[in-house]
Structure 1
Amino acid sequence: MSDVETVTVSIDADDSTDEVTLPAGLMDLVAEGDQTAAETVGDVTLLSFASRAHHVVHHGDGADEDLEAQEERIMELFEERFGVTFGEATGHQH
């Protein structure tokens, strides 16, 4: 058994709830400044969805209009949250 301290974050959606447990030190490493655990997980979640959407649309086997619209929307949400575009944040631009 590991003696690494963990943090559990609850996730509530419209019709379900889940929890994720993460190493506290990793949470501290990823956090920006004095972010809370919830804010840190929110940032990482949005980054992950944006990255995955980008990959599927731009590096996958092709995307239909609906998927392209989903990717466009997540990129808008990304920019609203972080104040920079996905390309600016990651250095990966097309």
Structure 2
Amino acid sequence: MADTTDVETTTISISAGDDTADEVTVPTGLLDLVAEGDQTAAETVGDVTLLSFASRAHHIVHHGEETDPELDAQEERIMELFEERFGVTFGEATGHQH
């Protein structure tokens, strides 16, 4: 097993409209692995972030215990944003359709 201290990392800064910020550090090789074509690290993290939110929203609404109209609207909106960014529906991208 390789020594993890030898693994190069990339830190991505995240800022929100409410003047809060955070950083996330990930192995650079993983960024390269999941990048589409000549995507930048920021674009790749953006894609993974949107995919993660869409996946979690889908799971909560369609596989969770209960839901409500507000949560349904949130899930519907993230799916619209997903399709705008990727050009396909979440179901088409993941093969998981309801």
- Give the TM bin, normalised by the shorter chain: over 0.9
Query: With structure 1 as the length reference, what TM-score do the two structures score?
Result: 0.98
Deviation at 1:2, TM superposition (A): 1.0
What one-letter code is carried by the residue in structure 1 that aligns with 2:85?
R
Moved over 4 A (4+): none
Query: With structure 2 as the length reference, what TM-score do the two structures score?
Result: 0.94
SS of 1:9's equivalent?
strand
Percent identity (aligned): 81
Separation in structure 2 between the aligned mates of residue 71 and residue 85 of structure 1, nearest angstrom? 13
Separation in structure 2 between the aligned mates of residue 17 and residue 4 of structure 1, nearest angstrom? 25
What one-letter code is carried by the residue in structure 2 that aligns with 1:2?
T
Matched, 1:8 2:11: yes
Separation in structure 1 between the aligned mates of residue 55 and residue 26 of structure 2, nearest angstrom? 21
1:43-82 equivalences under 5 Å are 43-82=47-86
**Cα root mean square deviation, aligned:** 0.8
